[in-house]
């Protein structure tokens, strides 16, 4: 059996190109509709994809006029409409409270029965204005601190802390609750989390390679470098690929020319690939064995996804690279990651 090749799909907005909204089949009043999001999720799960990712931003970008609904809330909505696919929202660390982030992701893990991931990112300096805070001098260093703190909060309840002993009237065993006391230059956290330990113990933590420091405890790294490789004992490596595919009506090159005429796409440090859906399947097959998977960013979701469904994904299934997650499985088990032991538990 070939090693599973994990495919994630980003479902934010109309696509990675800032002019994608012009070619979307979704009318403006339906951009944020639950039905549209559910359609993407159900389709992706049926195709055997490992996970959906949800970008987010606290700062409006005039170069890319895409509105956002909160990423964690979008993922939470899909927790009850799917049963196998992973759900990985962005929750930035630079100007957020670690306690709130920990509670949000733990709650998502409970509601999805163990399919939650967390994409921990830094925020641009401009975002400081929206929360009336000074610009963070070392956002990557703060990200590492926040991840470490969130992991401690996830472990502040042991697995068997909730006992629900009706006879004695005890709901929780206080000896199995642990106080987390962290203080840095940017934040302080005291006390156990308000959410019991989740099905995965700790949700999957993903970090962009640009934000990674030696002290960041990540399970998955998203990279825009085709030379990136997984190291022994290191996190999974997933390549970020911006794709524009040939459609039945127009070649990819013509589609990109038309999109670029409306707006210039910024360089986000991701790999860009354009061509046929069959060619994209061959490209991904060549990557298998070198990296653990890819995250696909479609130029125009409504157009490129149809090509992916018609050509790329079927070819990956024939090659036995796309192996659907099992209904009821946790995201950790799908990715081949062990459930971590609680760092505070005693024998």
CA–CA dist 184, 169 (Å, integer): 38
**What's the pLDDT score for residue 56?**
87
C-alpha torsion 149→294→328→112, nearest 10 = 50
pLDDT for 273-295, tens place per residue? 999 999 999 999 999 989 999 99
Count CB atoms within 10 A of the CB of residue 73. 13
Q: Report, in this order, helix, strand and coil percent for the chain, each rounded to 5.
A: 35, 20, 45
Is pTM, for the whole model, over 0.75? yes
In a domain, 344, yes or no: no
Count CB atoms within 10 A of the CB of residue 268. 14
pLDDT band of 60, cuts 50, 70, 90: low
In a domain, 340, yes or no: no
Read off the pLDDT of each residue in 123-139 and give the average, rounded to a whole number: 78
Structural domain tally of the chain? 1
pLDDT for 7-49, tens place per residue? 999 998 889 999 998 888 877 777 778 999 999 999 999 999 9
Count CB atoms within 10 A of the CB of residue 225. 13
pLDDT of 143 over the 80 cut = yes
- Contact between 238 and 218 under an 8 Å Cβ cutoff? The reply is no
**What's the pLDDT score for residue 129?**
75
CA–CA dist 263, 284 (Å, integer): 28
Share of the chain above pLDDT 90, in %: 75
In a domain, 265, yes or no: yes
pLDDT band of 1, cuts 50, 70, 90: low
Read off the pLDDT of each residue in 240-268 and give the average, rounded to a whole number: 95
Read off the pLDDT of each residue in 51-72 and give the average, rounded to a whole number: 76
**What's the pLDDT score for residue 346?**
74
Whole-Å CA distances, 141 to 36, 80, 94, 232, 298: 37, 35, 10, 24, 31
Instruction: List the CATH number of the domain containing 199.
Output: 3.20.20.30
| 207: nearest Cα among 341, 93, 102 | 93
The SS3 of residue 6 is strand
**What's the pLDDT score for residue 46?**
94
- Distance, CA of 213 to chain centre: 19
Q: How many helices (H) and strands (E) does the chain have?
A: 10, 13
**What's the pLDDT score for residue 116?**
98
**What's the pLDDT score for residue 250?**
96
**What's the pLDDT score for residue 191?**
83
Burial of 283 (0-12, 13-18, 19+ CB in 10 A): middle
Whole-Å CA distances, 277 to 200, 203, 226, 270, 286: 35, 33, 19, 19, 14
pLDDT band of 2, cuts 50, 70, 90: low
In a domain, 343, yes or no: no
CA–CA dist 147, 137 (Å, integer): 18
| 208: nearest Cα among 88, 306, 119 | 119
pLDDT of 124 over the 90 cut = no
In a domain, 134, yes or no: yes
Q: Look at the block and give the residue holding tokens 């039945």.
A: 248
| 330: nearest Cα among 116, 108, 107 | 116
- Structural domain including 130 reads 6-335
CA–CA dist 236, 311 (Å, integer): 26
Pairing relationship of beta strands 188-190 and 181-183 according to DSSP bridges: antiparallel
pLDDT of 332 over the 70 cut = yes
Count CB atoms within 10 A of the CB of residue 262. 13
CA–CA dist 7, 243 (Å, integer): 13
| Phi, psi for residue 183 in degrees, rounded to 5 | -140, 125
pLDDT of 63 over the 60 cut = no
In a domain, 203, yes or no: yes
| 240: nearest Cα among 215, 267, 261 | 267
In a domain, 126, yes or no: yes
**What's the pLDDT score for residue 59?**
65
**What's the pLDDT score for residue 32?**
78
In a domain, 16, yes or no: yes
pLDDT of 137 over the 90 cut = no
pLDDT of 324 over the 60 cut = yes
**What's the pLDDT score for residue 289?**
87
Read off the pLDDT of each residue in 111-137 and give the average, rounded to a whole number: 86
CA–CA dist 199, 165 (Å, integer): 21
């Amino acid at each position: 059996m070939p090693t599973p090749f994990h495919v994630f799909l980003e479902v934010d907005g109309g696509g990675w190109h800032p002019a994608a909204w012009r070619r979307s089949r979704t009318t403006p009043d339906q951009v944020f509709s639950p039905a549209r999001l559910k359609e993407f999720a159900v389709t992706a799960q049926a195709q055997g994809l490992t996970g959906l990712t949800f970008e987010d931003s606290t700062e409006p970008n005039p170069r890319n006029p895409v509105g956002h609904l909160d990423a964690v809330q979008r993922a939470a909505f899909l927790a009850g409409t799917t049963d196998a696919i992973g759900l990985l929202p962005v929750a930035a660390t630079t100007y957020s409270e670690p306690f709130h982030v920990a509670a949000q992701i733990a709650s998502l893990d409970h509601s999805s029965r163990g399919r939650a991931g967390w994409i921990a990112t830094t925020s641009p300096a401009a975002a400081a204005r929206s929360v009336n805070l000074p610009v963070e001098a070392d956002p990557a260093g703060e990200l590492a601190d926040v991840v470490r703190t969130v992991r401690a909060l996830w472990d502040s309840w042991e697995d068997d802390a909730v006992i629900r002993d009706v006879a004695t009237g005890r709901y929780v065993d206080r000896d199995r609750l642990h106080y987390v006391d962290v203080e840095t230059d940017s934040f302080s956290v005291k006390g156990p989390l308000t959410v019991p330990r989740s099905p995965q113990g700790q949700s999957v933590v993903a970090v962009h390679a640009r934000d990674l420091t030696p002290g960041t405890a990540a399970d998955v790294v998203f990279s825009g470098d085709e030379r990136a490789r997984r190291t022994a004992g290191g996190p999974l490596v997933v390549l970020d690929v911006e794709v524009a595919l040939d459609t039945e009506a127009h070649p990819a090159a013509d589609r990109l020319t038309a999109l670029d005429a409306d707006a210039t796409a910024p360089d986000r440090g991701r790999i860009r690939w354009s061509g046929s859906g069959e060619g994209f399947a061959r490209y991904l097959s060549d990557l298998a064995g070198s990296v653990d998977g890819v995250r696909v960013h479609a130029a125009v979701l409504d157009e490129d996804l149809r090509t992916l469904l018609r050509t790329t994904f079927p070819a990956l299934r024939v090659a036995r690279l796309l192996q659907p997650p099992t209904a009821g499985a946790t995201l950790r088990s799908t990715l081949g990651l062990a459930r971590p032991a609680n760092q505070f538990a005693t024998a």
